[in-house]
Amino acid sequence: MKKIFTLLSMAFFAISVNAQDSGSENSSVEKIDVCSAEVKALIETSIANPTVLNSPLYISVTKEEKIYPAGTYIKNNYEAVTGGSPIGLKNYAWEASTTNVTLKANSTLNADSENNAESWQFSTTGTYNEETKTYGNTSLTVTGCDPEFTNYICAKTGNPSAAYKQFYEYPSKKTTDAEGNEIDLVDENGNYVSDEDGDPIFRLLEPVWEPGQGDLPAKGCFYEFTSKKDGVLKLAIFLNKNLANNKLYIIDESTKEEGYKALTNDQLTIKGFRQNFNFETESDRGTSNLVDWTLTDEYLITTANIADGGTNRPFYGYVAFNVKANVTYMALTPKSQLGLYGFSFTPSDNTGISSLKSEDNSNAPIYNLAGQKVSDDYKGLIIQNGKKSIKK
């Protein structure tokens, strides 16, 4: 199946955004703030004018048509769910461009969503005020020519996926184990035994998208970036909690022959902070000193001091990577809530940039993958200077 922007006939709302930042240290930097007046108008127009996605992979099977055996949902066997009536999922897409970079943003709500505004919600980064017990506005900034952002957009529902099926299944019969705990009853082949006298359970089967599976998401919330030139693209993002499960994918769409691969830690520079009562120790509430983060082999972001406060907090910050001309890169998380503040782009022909990674400091602290500081003689996988390596 081809991706949504080529498979389906869609109406995008486009604008050419001022690409030059004459007040920055490098006037060649192009940037888009998604909450600027121009882009915000595009987003609001897309909310008011959704496109209906009619796909044979989006169906609903009612109880009157068929009730599936217990375990259909747990096994996540998409092909087993057959028949049904097509679902016209509503999609909310918009497009904005700088001189060299085009951003295509996509948000597809679940079939039961009735509020169009859930497709794109405007949110704000916040510092915690002890007196009011609330979060207020603050800028997410770094030094130099990087843009300053306060507000971001985020979809409420609609996970990235290639398919979407609603159906009903029987509950499973129950039994007890040797300790008296209630468990599902299975037959000699390990299949769940259906309780056909039980009330059917409504299910939504939405295969989770993963890198390397051979296709791109055709629905849900994701962002695509295509540049006319080589350069460095820096995305300002919000990644919702829980960070122990909420993966971050930056897909290089030129890797189609390899099943579409996601960029790895050695190709990314990640800086940011977590929102909580104290934020990161080094962060000063996100105003200037953003903490280095690392992307694990499981595509989870972690930082050296994450063990101090756990992972059940959202991430705010930047993800930067080198991009090639005329190659599209997609940013998404398996869940819907990957927020976007905007981006900046620096063409390499103006800066001579060839790599984003800073030079190593051999005296920098060393951490294990749990974010715990370890000694110099520690052996195994480590994080140093925001980079992951094996220390023997």
pLDDT at position 50: 95
| β-sheet bridge partners, residue 345 | 30, 233
- Asked if 62 contacts 27 with a C-beta cutoff of 8 angstroms, the reply is no
94, 43 contact by CB (below 8 A): yes
Most confident segment among 263-272, 307-316, 325-334 = 325-334
Q: Is the torsion defined by CA of 362, 290, 294, 302 positive or negative?
A: positive
347: its two tokens: 């063409």
Identify which has the larger pLDDT, 5 or 53: 53
- For residue 284, the model assigns a pLDDT of 45
pLDDT value at position 1?
Answer: 44
Residue 66: CB partners within 8 Å, gap ≥ 6?
A: 83, 167, 168
Q: Which residue is it, tokens 């080198």?
A: 322
Chain centroid to Cα 264, Å, comes to: 15
Nearest to 67 by CA among 197, 258, 247: 197
Convert the pLDDT of each residue in 147-196 to its tens digit: 678 789 999 989 999 889 999 999 999 999 889 899 999 999 989 999 99
* Angle formed at CA 61 by CA 60 and CA 64, multiple of 5 degrees: 135
Average pLDDT over residues 289-309: 76
> Could you write out the DSSP letters of every residue in 54-95?
EEEEEEE--TTT-EEPTTHHHHT-GGG----EEEEEEEEEEE
Check residue 314 and give its pLDDT.
83
Residue 283 pLDDT > 60: no
Rounded to two decimals, the pTM is 0.79
Query: Is residue 201 very low, low, confident or very high in pLDDT (cuts 50, 70, 90)?
Result: very high
Q: Which residue has the tokens 């995008």?
A: 12
pLDDT of residue 251: 97
| Average pLDDT taken over every residue of the chain | 80
Q: Is the pLDDT of residue 387 over 70?
A: no
CA gap 170, 156 in Å, rounded: 29
Q: Is the pLDDT of residue 371 over 80?
A: no
How confident is residue 289, by pLDDT bands cut at 50, 70 and 90? low
Confidence of residue 4 (pLDDT cuts 50, 70, 90): very low
Q: Are strands 387-391 and 121-124 parallel, antiparallel or unpaired?
A: unpaired
361 pLDDT more than 80: no
What pLDDT does residue 62 have? 95
Report how far residue 294's alpha carbon sits from residue 302's, in angstroms, rounded to the nearest whole number. Answer: 5
Give the range among 41-55, 178-192, 259-273, 344-358 with minimum mean pLDDT.
Answer: 344-358
115-124, 223-232, 376-385: range with highest mean pLDDT = 223-232
Check residue 133 and give its pLDDT.
Answer: 53
Q: How far apart, in whole angstroms, are the C-alpha atoms of residue 113 and residue 111?
A: 6
Element (H, E) at 302: strand 301-303
Res 216: pLDDT: 92
Cα separation of 371 and 13, whole Å? 43
pLDDT tens profile 21-76: 333 445 588 999 998 999 999 999 999 999 999 899 999 999 999 999 999 998 87
pLDDT for residue 15 = 43
- Residue with the bigger pLDDT between 274 and 152: it is 152
User: Taking residues 107-111, what's their average pLDDT?
Assistant: 95
pLDDT of amino acid 243: 78
Question: Which pLDDT does position 151 carry in this prediction?
Answer: 84
Residue 39 dihedral angles phi and psi, to the nearest 5°: -75, -35
Q: Mean of the pLDDT values across residues 281-309?
A: 67
Which pLDDT score is estimated for 21?
Answer: 39
Closest to 17 (Cα-Cα) out of 31, 35, 28, 29? 31
